[in-house]
Structure 1
Amino acid sequence: MAKVIEVTDTNFSKEVLQSDKPVLVDFWAPWCGPCRMMAPIIEEIAEENDDFKVAKLNVDENPLIASTYRIMSIPTLGIFKGGRMVDQIVGVTPKQRVVNAVKALV
């Protein structure tokens, strides 16, 4: 089963942009209440889906990537395919909506 990958400014390109599978990236921060609400949903999605990768990026510790993708609100879920962000979902979102958005790209 898949696990959530921690990505940083350093490994983002390798893990996300160069991935052969779509990648769901959770842009979050430890102080963010809604991010903590999404965390178990993100974990479940990672455990239940092998046809795409799931990653988390702490925006406080990795400002370069957050700035590059103009992440203004968290949680933001970025959906990446073929080296670019093709969709994003902002705010607390039901699990099935997130899964459907990513699976549409698989």
Structure 2
Amino acid sequence: TTCQNLVAGLTEMGKKVMVVGCDPKGDSTRLLLGGLNQHTVLDTLRKEGEDVDLEDIRKTGFGGTLCTESGGPEPGVGCAGRGIITSINLLEQLGAFEEELDYVFYDVLGDV
């Protein structure tokens, strides 16, 4: 919630902010999305394959905050860090960082 509160404050100051949730549970942006449990990048890739658009994995939340959740691998299949790398690479390929953003936050667990 610290990251989400900081982001909310920055958006109220007129800043353009994107949050990349890096918790395998996929709940780092839930408050910014009004309680919505967003589909994660990895879940979307597993379901849709490689044909993914930016709108499929990024939602607009409180104050225009851009929100995405990396998610995690299926239990017992890999480490969360690899999922984060996959997500960031896909966001780059889809042009998510080409917009004029003032801040990009990566809400990461302490052990990832």
In the superposition, the TM-score normalised over structure 2's length comes to 0.34
Larger strand share, 1 or 2: 1
- Larger Rg belongs to: 2
In the superposition, the TM-score normalised over structure 1's length comes to 0.36
